[in-house]
């Protein structure tokens, strides 16, 4: 941490910074420049210290953190890539893992039909929401536990592992009983009670990026999961909120190489929520694979026009089949396969 | 809702839009322009319908919602200003209600000292957090229930009603036992499970704006509380996330008149979290009152340099005393008082 | 244009909207809903009319534009893809056109060396800035006309057409004398005087997206060029400003399919300015090609460590050579070539 | 500047950083932590050096600038507040200076009528645009020089100094002949050619903040003006672009105290462009004065419903008269006057 003193700060003010650092067990190196003094504070866990501890002291102009606030999710902590394994399917390896299915579980017929389609096209994990966080209280809120049961039954029938969202910390146990992968939605990325509970479980988890959270905050949220002992963590980029309004969110394609540089965790991409419109999904999905994503989470509905939720961003079976063909070519061109 | 058809859309495509509307019990008016057809869909609850129902149909280019997605929070639904009453203190009336105190409850001594200071200076509600949602799992997470007990004891001692945050839906009952006002934090504005549970309670609630949520989404979240029957709802602007990095968040001062135009609910402002630095708090607090805010939520710590959380944005007792003097002058100039 | 009246608007107020529309030669269709009246205003150029003309009238609640404000750049205006031809190189066709070179022209030696490298690796257009818009007045501002002359000489020597930036409207003539493609920088996307002058020229032009401009504003700016008669327009996505700070800007990958849907103009991508760091450039470049970009604009410097401007985001010759190999594979996988 | 080396950086890599610094005439202090080395680079002008000079060297992980990139506009450079004087009116002193008038000069009648109204209500400077930068080429572009002449004539008649926008560097001489204050619009804040030319003039200038520029970039742009010798510089906050869509831009109220801390230059606020709607202008204007702004720039039109440009955000004469009364009360409450 670098503490920059104000021009003309007194030696008492500088001393109080040095003492604060020492009281926290940290090393200090003092740079007395011509215009202002700068105090470098050294130690192995300065990333986890709030900068305010020093910024609040009198005579201090600015405090800059050199170390990142996340630790367990960082490449510095673990150099080699992490692999997450789900029913023998490895996420983070050479295979591009495609998870697909409807936004919400609506009925057995819809779910089984969707599962059949996505399996035929080469997806290896089935997605489907039973608990749906909805912006308006007047919208369809999901089927709840009966939706989870349909997911489990479909899994048995077709042999596709299942990913579904958990939205409350008290439901972690319930959802884990049925799901192979828990999904933490964008609005819950900083629901720390939920993260803490999932951290205690050993169920693989997809942590979606908060739509207004930085990569640094995202990896710090991942630390909540890892700190609890759950190291089956997959990150999922799904678009951030910007001023641009031609898409629902702006997919942050650069976050893929940034994560690959900074973290050992696998990262997948959800092009459907970012785009908000089915016609944009294929281009974004292809870009994600080309940029190095380890997988995709795609909404597919047997009949998007009848979908209860997010029909507009769902691919039809034939669109999905075509996209999978195109993705295979892209995957091959970057030395991977689907 | 306005459904704009693509140039050259067929009459079958137009018909399918009309039929969809009729199947939902809505009226339709058809405008056949020279270049393209436009279908206006009329009805009293089109604000609550997803635009996708139509956008997904073939031949449709664009769907625009004319009615807002929120309903109960709107001025259209209730024209006169709502007042929220807490121990005889009215929020939303002529009085500017100042809620102040430390970010986190740290000890009895700290809390009582803070309460004394803020009461002396004219604040009429004590703030203090017992459950703290923290970005990093390695930071202080609050005192929990023992913090709530300290709040209740301090209230008894000094006669100041108390506002404190609830972060989990299962804790709503527990926190309501001790608190006079529940606070929903920015990161929980779209935690719909939490909102639903608070909606069932009758405890006054401050709903902080999600730092990346629009005013429309904020009022739609308020609908979750109101739909449950809890109409003791106070909105709180606390800054939004933008590209600007000289402050922690950018306080959206315009949201005050926007809310006053669109909603009947009272609105207060938290200048401390927006600013992130004590030196900026007074200017923002004064601006909020001048712009029409009904109250303020300000962090004050007996000794900011020793604060465990957010010391940098906390006012010292003397700074707070000075600010309250200045606020009294501003309040008077806009025909209100503190 | 859809004019939504306030609940309870008087019939005089509705009439004044209708009259305003008629005075502008527009057709009107009136929808009298149960709760509020809605006036649809129809005509072929309502996209170019300011919504304020109606929003300012009394009794009006909201005005929504149905038609886009841009016209000449839209697919509605011209359905088939536009091709821009530079010295026999077609931009917007099956070939992915790679433009590469140093950010700034620094010396003949540097430029010729860079040109040789990029040509060898398969780039077909040389980039290099002679006029540099710099954030600080104390930074290197470019070589000016002598830089242009070096570009022209290098072109002659190596047979590579040249793209360079023009930053002032009075320089359009000068720069066109030396350059094969004019570049309008991000900060000048809404410099309408400059656009108007370039519109009068017949020189191909790359219009970079303003880093805080929407796709709609970008296409409307392109209308300035097209309205002047210059239809040799290439769009260039180079990242938008968001809250994310791990990259210099956030490349808006979705803008590629959005532009392909909305406009007939070719679009290229500048991964260097978006990323701000050479290590992120390859992933973004590959994603752009996979998403459908027609070309790339990449910074390459013979010795990035000695670059006067933007060395950090410049690829070294060996990094560029490796990237071009990877891009060839991606291009092939989407049915194109380099 | 703080150069943080990668974990495990070699001593050669560290040396190359030290040498680079020395070659630039800078002092160096080396901190060898347990986990990584950190090099502090000291000198009086490190704010003006690009961080890339070091970031590009091998073994470097991150470079943080401690000093700000602006210099002449900073409080460090000049401690006491700057005053700008226009025809005896001082901007930056105790008086709140209100500049008001129509967005665009449309005719002599309109301008004189507007000028009379704003003068009667207590505004002391007349605003009016002759050159209008418009988003679409099909919109009204202003009256040009004949508009300037009308401004000058109105000034003579009523004795109100005049502020008007200059949009091209070649027009600086022309506009200065007629105007008392030059205005640089938001889209031109980083038009460095324009800034350089105005820097050479001695005409007072209002520098509007780019709607997507940080405070730091804004003050760095002011350095262009000051570096040329023009120290009659007034800053103007006019709203930044964010995701919020209920207002045209989000007025960054916190920028007022931030500027007051960081710079000696006066700052005024334009509530009209931020709001985009007349009904929101008064609340924002009052907030600006309460927060410490030195003046306001407000759009007033004798008949907003007939305005050619921005009628929706213009106040009518009676609305403006009422606002001025309210502003007088606020000004008094913060120890100032209008």
**For residue C22, what are its two tokens?**
């008629």
Q: In chain D, whose CA is at the least distance from the CA of A262?
A: D61
pLDDT interval class at D33 (50, 70, 90) = low
Is the CB of B50 inside 8 Å of chain C's CB atoms? no
**Tokens 């209500």 sit on residue:** D121
pLDDT at res. D266: 98
Q: How far apart are the first and last CA of chain A?
A: 44
**Which 115-134 residues of chain A touch chain B by CB within 8 A?**
133-134
- Could you tell me if C307 and C110 are in contact, meaning their C-beta atoms sit under 8 angstroms apart? no
The whole-number pLDDT of residue A147 equals 92
Secondary structure element (H or E) that encloses residue B126, with its range: strand B125-127
**How much is the average pLDDT of C103-110?**
92
Q: Are strands A125-127 and C125-127 parallel, antiparallel or unpaired?
A: unpaired
3-class SS letters over C262-293: HECCCEEECHHHHHCCHHHHHHHHHHHHHHCC
Q: Give B-chain residues touching A190 at CB under 8 angstroms.
A: 133, 135, 187
The pLDDT, as a whole number, for residue A133 is 78
CA distance C29 to chain B (A): 7
CB contacts, 8 Å: C66 with chain B? 2, 4, 38, 62, 64
Residue of B nearest to C66 (CA): B4
Alpha carbons D185 and D208: distance in angstroms, whole number: 5
A positions 276-305 inside 8 Å of C (CB): 279-280, 282-284, 286-292
Can you give the pLDDT at residue D196?
Answer: 94
How many CB atoms lie under 10 A from the CB of residue C297? 27
Nearest-angstrom CA–CA distance, A140 and B309: 39
**Least CB–CB distance from D138: residue in C48, C52, C55:** C48
Contacts of C40 in chain B (CB under 8 A): 2, 31, 38, 40
Give buried/exposed letters for B284-307 (b at 16+ CB in 10 A, else e): bbbbbbbbbbbbbbbbbbbebbeb
| Yes or no, beta carbons of C240 and A250 under 8 Å apart | yes
Q: Considering CB atoms only, which of B258, B274, B288 is closest to D280?
A: B258
Q: Is residue A31 over pLDDT 80?
A: no
Structure token digits, residue A53: 């501890």
Q: Would you place residue B338 in the very low, low, confident or very high pLDDT band (cuts 50, 70, 90)?
A: very high
For residue B139, pLDDT beyond 80: no
From C225's Cα to the closest Cα of chain D, the distance in A is 9
D217-234: pLDDT as tens digits: 999 999 999 999 999 999
**Cβ-Cβ contacts under 8 Å, D64 against chain B:** none
Cα A144–A149–A150 angle (5° rounding)?
95
Looking at residue A230, its pLDDT comes to: 96
Question: Rounded to whole angstroms, what are the CA distances from A8 to A37, B65, D76?
Answer: 9, 58, 11
Rounded CA separation A227/D250 (Å): 39
- Name which of B279, B283, B291 is nearest D283 (Cβ-Cβ): B291
- Answer whether A40 touches D (CB < 8 Å): yes
Do the Cβ atoms of A42 and D33 come within 8 Å? Answer: yes
| Per-residue confidence (pLDDT) for residue C86, from 0 to 100 | 96
Given 3-state DSSP classes, what are the helix, strand and coil percentages for chain D, each rounded to the nearest 5?
40, 20, 40
* Strand runs labelled E in chain C: 2-5, 27-32, 37-42, 60-64, 84-86, 89-91, 97-101, 125-127, 162-165, 181-184, 205-208, 233-237, 267-269, 295-299
| Closest CB to A211 among B133, B212, B227 | B212
Question: Mind telling me how many Å the CA of B191 is from chain D's nearest CA?
Answer: 20
Q: Cβ separation of A257 and C280 shorter than 8 Å?
A: yes
Distance between CA atoms of C250 and D297, rounded to whole angstroms? 33
The rounded mean pLDDT for chain A is: 92
User: In this predicted structure, what is the pLDDT of residue B56?
Assistant: 86
C2, C31, C34: residue with CB nearest B64? C2
Residue A33 confidence (pLDDT) above 80: no
Cα dist from D271 to B292, B327, D237, whole Å = 15, 22, 8
DSSP annotation string for A269-324: E-HHHHH-SGGGHHHHHHHHHHHT-SEEEEEB-S-GGG-SS-GGGPBPHHHHHHHH
Mean pLDDT along residues C254-271:
98
Digit-coded pLDDT (tens) for D293-319: 999 999 999 988 888 777 889 999 999
Q: Which two tokens stand for residue B262?
A: 């669109």
Residue B42 pairs in a beta bridge with: B27
Rounded Cα gap, residues A5 and A59, in angstroms: 6
Distance, in Å, from the CA atom of B251 to the CA atom of B249, rounded to the nearest integer, reads 6
Cβ pair B197, B172 in contact under 8 A: yes
Predicted pLDDT of residue D219: 97
Q: Work out the pLDDT band at D207, boundaries 50, 70, 90.
A: very high
Structure tokens at B207: 């709903």
User: Which chains share 3+ C-beta pairs under 8 angstroms with D?
Assistant: A, B, C
> Across residues A170-194, what is the average pLDDT?
94
Comparing CB atoms, the residue among D43, D76, D242 nearest residue A243 is D242
C-beta of residue C68 within 8 angstroms of C-beta of residue C216: yes
Mean pLDDT on D28-55: 78
- CB contact under 8 Å between C133 and D187, yes or no, is no
- Band (pLDDT 50/70/90 cuts) for residue B53 is confident
Give buried/exposed letters for D140-159 (b at 16+ CB in 10 A, else e). ebbbeeebbbbbbebbeeee
How far is Cα D28 from Cα C260, in angstroms, rounded to an integer? Answer: 52
- Residue D12 burial by CB count (10 A; 0-12/13-18/19+): exposed, middle or buried? exposed
Inform me whether the pLDDT recorded for A257 exceeds 80. Answer: yes
Cα dihedral: A140, A143, A148, A149 (round 10)? -150
Query: How far D332 CA sits from the closest chain C CA (Å)?
Result: 33
Q: What whole-number distance in Å separates Cα of residue A204 and Cα of residue A208?
A: 13
Q: Is B332 on the interface with C (CB under 8 A)?
A: no
Selecting from C215, C240, C292 the residue whose C-beta is nearest the C-beta of A283 gives C292
Which residue in the set A34, A44, A243 is minimally distant from D241, CB to CB?
A243
Chain C positions in Cβ-Cβ contact with residue A246 (cut-off 8 Å): 214-216, 254-255, 258, 262
Mean predicted confidence (pLDDT) in C299-303? 92
Which residue reads 């930036």 in tokens? C165
Convert the pLDDT of each residue in B150-202 to its tens digit.
Answer: 999 999 999 999 999 999 988 999 999 999 999 999 999 999 989 999 999 99
Give percent of chain D with pLDDT exceeding 90.
Answer: 71
Instruction: Please compute the mean of the pLDDT values over residues A145-153 and round it to a whole number.
Output: 94
For residue A34, the model assigns a pLDDT of 64
**Digit-coded pLDDT (tens) for D81-96:** 999 999 999 999 999 9
Helix segments in chain D, DSSP class H: 11-23, 52-55, 108-121, 145-158, 172-178, 192-200, 215-227, 255-262, 271-275, 281-291, 317-333
**Cβ density class D193-210: b for 16+ within 10 Å, e for less:** bbbbbbbebebbbbbbbb
Q: Rounded to 5 degrees, what are φ and ψ at B311?
A: -60, -35
Per-residue burial over C303-317, b = 16 or more CB atoms within 10 Å of its CB, e = otherwise: ebbebbbbbbbbbbb
What are the pLDDT digits (tens) for C72-90? 999 989 999 999 999 999 9
Count the helices and strands in chain C (H runs, E runs). Answer: 11, 14
Note the pLDDT of residue C33. Answer: 67
Q: What is the pLDDT of residues C8-29, one digit of tens each?
A: 889 899 999 999 988 888 888 7
Neighbours of chain C (3+ CB pairs under 8 A): A, B, D
The answer to whether D105 and D151 are in contact (CB under 8 A) is: yes
**What pLDDT is stored for residue D76 in this prediction?**
85
pLDDT beyond 90 at C139: no
φ, ψ at C263 (rounded to 5°): -140, 160
- Calculated CA dihedral for residues B250, B254, B259, B262, nearest 10 degrees: -130
Q: Answer whether C338 touches A (CB < 8 Å).
A: no
Q: How far apart are CA C254 and CA A269, in angstroms?
A: 13
Around B139, how many Cα atoms within 13 Å sit in the side-chain half-sphere? 25
Q: Which of C52, C133, C217 sits opposite D192 (nearest CB)?
A: C133
D259-289: per-residue pLDDT in tens? 999 999 999 999 999 999 999 999 999 999 9
The answer to whether the CB of D70 falls within 8 A of the CB of D59 is no
Q: What is the ipTM of this complex?
A: 0.92
Q: Phi, psi (5° rounding) for residue D308?
A: -80, -25
Looking at every residue in chain C, the average pLDDT score rounds to 92
- If phi > 0 it is left, if psi is from -120 to 50 it is alpha, else beta; for residue D9 that is beta
Q: Work out the mean pLDDT of chain B and round it to a whole number.
A: 92
CB contacts of D220 in chain B (<8 Å) are none
| A235 interface with C at CB cutoff 8 Å | no
Q: Do B66 and C35 touch (CB under 8 A)?
A: no
B55/A312 touch (CB, cutoff 8 Å), yes or no: yes
The answer for C 160-219 residues in CB contact with B (under 8 A) is: none
* pLDDT recorded at residue C230: 96
Q: Do B42 and C38 touch (CB under 8 A)?
A: yes
When pLDDT is cut at 50, 70 and 90, the band that residue B33 belongs to is low
Residue A198 pLDDT grade (very low, low, confident, very high; cuts 50, 70, 90): very high
Cβ-in-10-Å burial (0-12, 13-18, 19+) of C331 comes to buried
pLDDT band at B34; cut points 50, 70, 90:
low
C91 in A contact zone (CB under 8 Å): no
The residue among A247, A267, A290 with the most chain C CBs within 10 A of its CB, best to mutate, is: A290
Minimum Cα–Cα distance from C70: chain D residue? D136
Cβ–Cβ under 8 Å, residues C250 and C219: no
Contact in structure between B290 and B252 (CB atoms under 8 Å) = no
How far from A157 is each of A126, B125, B153, D325, CA to CA, in Å?
A: 12, 59, 58, 75
Tens digit of each residue's pLDDT (9 = 90 or more) over B236-252: 999 999 999 999 999 99
Asked whether C207 and C233 are in contact (CB, 8 A), the reply is yes
Task: Tell if the CB–CB gap between D56 and C196 is shorter than 8 Å.
Answer: no
For residue A326, give Cα distances in angstroms to A278, A284, A321, C95: 16, 12, 9, 19
User: For C52, which DSSP code?
Assistant: H
SS3 content of chain C, % helix, strand, coil (to 5): 40, 20, 40
Write down the pLDDT at residue D200: 95
């Amino acid at each position: 941490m670098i503490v920059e003193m104000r021009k003309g700060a007194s030696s008492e003010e500088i001393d109080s910074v040095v003492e604060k650092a020492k009281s926290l067990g940290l090393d200090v190196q003092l740079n007395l420049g011509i215009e202002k003094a700068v105090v470098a504070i050294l130690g192995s866990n300065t990333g986890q210290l709030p900068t305010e501890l020093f910024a609040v002291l009198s005579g201090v102009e600015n405090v800059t953190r050199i170390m990142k606030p996340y630790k367990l999710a960082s490449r510095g902590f673990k150099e080699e890539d992490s692999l997450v394994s789900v029913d023998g399917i490895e996420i983070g390896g050479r295979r591009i893992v495609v998870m697909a299915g409807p936004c919400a579980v609506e009925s057995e017929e819809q779910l089984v039909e969707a599962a059949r389609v996505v399996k035929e096209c080469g997806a290896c994990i089935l997605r489907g929401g039973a608990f749906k966080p909805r912006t308006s209280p007047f919208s369809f809120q999901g089927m709840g536990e009966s939706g989870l049961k349909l997911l489990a039954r479909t899994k048995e029938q077709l042999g596709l592992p299942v990913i579904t969202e958990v939205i409350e910390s008290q439901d972690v146990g319930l959802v884990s009983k049925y799901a192979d992968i828990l999904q933490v939605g964008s609005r819950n990325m900083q629901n720390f009670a939920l993260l803490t509970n999932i951290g205690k479980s050993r169920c693989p988890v997809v942590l979606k990026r908060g739509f207004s959270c930085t990569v640094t905050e995202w990896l710090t949220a991942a630390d909540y999961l890892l700190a609890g002992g759950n190291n089956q963590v997959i990150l999922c980029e799904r678009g951030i909120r910007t001023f641009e309004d031609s898409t629902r969110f702006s997919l942050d394609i650069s976050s893929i190489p940034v994560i690959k540089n900074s973290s050992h965790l696998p990262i997948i991409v959800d092009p459907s929520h970012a785009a908000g419109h089915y016609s944009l999904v294929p281009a974004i999905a292809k870009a994600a694979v080309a940029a190095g994503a380890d997988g995709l989470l795609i909404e597919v509905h047997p009949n998007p026009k009848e979908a209860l939720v997010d029909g507009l961003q769902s691919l039809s079976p034939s669109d999905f089949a075509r996209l999978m063909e195109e993705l295979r070519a892209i995957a091959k061109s970057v030395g991977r396969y689907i």
